[in-house]
Amino acid sequence: FYSKTFEGRTTASGTKFSNSKFTAAHRSLSFGTQVKVTNLENNKSVVVTITDRGPFIADRIIDLSEAAAAALDFIDKGVVEVRLDVVSEE
């Protein structure tokens, strides 16, 4: 999930990043796309909005805000396997 150092910075979509919102970065999904993210270790899910580009680490498919990571219960791990399901596209 995003580092606290990104708090308040402008995202690729032009919005200000906030770790308290349910947002995410994806390499190719359109900004505004709603994605259901499911933690495959515990089956918890959240819906996030794509507001940024990334992640820029080869084996990762999405970067989540801290609020989304907390809801999925993986703050202590930092990285888990997830499934993505597009809910709606803008």
pLDDT digits (tens, 9 = 90+) for 36-90: 999 999 999 999 999 999 998 888 999 999 999 999 998 888 789 999 999 988 7
Q: How many CB atoms lie within 10 A of CB 8?
A: 9
Domains of the chain: 4-88 (2.40.40.10)
- Which helix (H) or strand (E) segment holds residue 63: the answer is strand 63-64
Q: Report the predicted TM-score, pTM, of the whole model to 2 decimal places.
A: 0.89
Q: What is the DSSP letter of 71?
A: H
Contact of 24 with 52, CB cutoff 8 Å: yes
